Amino acid sequence: MATTFTTTISRMFTVQQPDPDYVVSVWWTVTGVDGAYTASSGNNVMFDSSQQQGPVIPYDQLTEDIVISWIPAQDIATSQTIVQGQINSLINPPVTPQNTPLPWA
């Protein structure tokens, strides 16, 4: 079965300059589901006005999709890779070395 990934925004932090409620930090999570297995990885991204592209969207008009589009695609891809590794470990748990008594003890 293939893993389905979802990116969600959990928190946003704002300042009042250069515009009211200007978003400067976004906390986000990538969740992966593969059958009965679920894993997630959270991260955050910081912004400043020098990164602004296009007009400022008023805070009350932001949607989760708009904010997700601000997260660098490579950051989301990296989180998906981490989540996939977690799921793979759930499906096929890694072998854990055992502390075996010394044969001469």
100 lies in some domain: no
User: Model confidence over 37-53: pLDDT tens digits?
Assistant: 999 999 999 998 777 88
User: Model confidence over 63-101: pLDDT tens digits?
Assistant: 999 999 999 999 999 999 999 999 999 999 988 899 999
Mean pLDDT of 16-39: 94
11 lies in some domain: yes
pLDDT band at 59, cuts 50/70/90? very high
Which structural domain range is residue 84 located in? 4-91
Residues 6+ apart with CB under 8 A from 39: 31, 32, 83, 86, 87, 90
99 lies in some domain: no
